[in-house]
Amino acid sequence: MGEVRPRFARALGAGLLSTAVLLSVASCTGGDDGRAADVPTASFTENGVAVTLRVTGWDGAHGTLTADFVPQEKGFHLYSVDLPPQGVDGIGRPTALAVHGTVRPHGRLTADVPVRKIHSPGTDALLPVYPDGPVTTTLPLTADGSGAGYVSVGYALCNATEGCLIPVQDHRVPLAVTDDGIAFPQPG
């Protein structure tokens, strides 16, 4: 996973990189016609990355979950979706989306940028990472009917000179499928 540098630990302890969740209750009632109001979205920022989730192309039973991962500082990269869950030799954590409840994957998670391999300091392990900067992932979805569920989001953010931030694992974002469409309901 890499070393967590003191300046990041202080920022985390001070709450400067704590979760700020903004959820939308917009629902999608069919197809992606380009109108932003019809695209369900949810956003949060945690441990140096702003994440925006959206569902497009929803036809009542199928659609695509897209997640934009945007590092908040230049020079940082995310690990590949293909990295094992516990990393390589315990180093790194994959960029991950998992759905639970009334929705399930209908294909595999993919990313819009190529993977490159880097050496981790102090080991011979080659780690699959994305180039520094934003990454967009997509996951085809299918629904097993109406009901509640959630999206579990995970990632780790690192750079070559300062090390890594604390990984995010299983950040849960509520999701609901109704007869009217799909939504990210606001908690509470």
Note the pLDDT tens digit of each residue in 33-76: 444 456 789 999 999 999 999 999 999 899 999 999 999 999 99
Residues facing 30 on adjacent strands: none
Is residue 124's pLDDT more than 90?
no
Residue type, 188: G
| 8 Rama sector, left if φ>0, alpha if ψ -120 to 50, beta otherwise | alpha
Is residue 183's pLDDT more than 80?
yes
* Averaged pLDDT for residues 82-109: 93
Higher pLDDT, 34 or 141: 141
Q: Percent of the chain scored above 70 by pLDDT?
A: 78
Structure tokens that stand for 81 in this block: 């979706």
* Averaged pLDDT for residues 145-163: 92
Structure tokens that stand for 181 in this block: 């469409």
Is residue 4's pLDDT more than 60?
no
pLDDT at 125: 82
**Would you list the domain boundaries of the chain?**
6-16+40-183
Q: What predicted TM-score, i.e. pTM, was given to this entire model?
A: 0.81
Over the range 38-60, which residues count as b (16 or more CB within 10 Å of their CB) and which as e? bbbbbbbbbbbbebbbbbbbbee
pLDDT at 23: 36
Is residue 15's pLDDT more than 70?
no
Nearest 10 degrees: CA dihedral of 129, 130, 133, 139?
Answer: -120
Domain 6-16+40-183 is classified in which CATH homologous superfamily?
Thiol:disulfide interchange protein DsbD, N-terminal domain (2.60.40.1250)
Do residues 114 and 95 touch, judged by C-beta distance below 8 A?
Answer: no
pLDDT at 119: 84
Confidence category of residue 143, pLDDT binned at 50, 70, 90: very high
Contacts of 125 (CB under 8 A, 6+ apart): 88, 89, 91, 119
* Averaged pLDDT for residues 9-24: 35
Range of lowest pLDDT (27-36, 81-90, 111-120):
27-36
Confidence category of residue 81, pLDDT binned at 50, 70, 90: very high
Contacts of 127 (CB under 8 A, 6+ apart): 79, 83, 87, 88, 91, 92, 117, 118, 119, 120
- Helix, strand, coil shares of the chain, percent, nearest 5, are 5, 50, 45
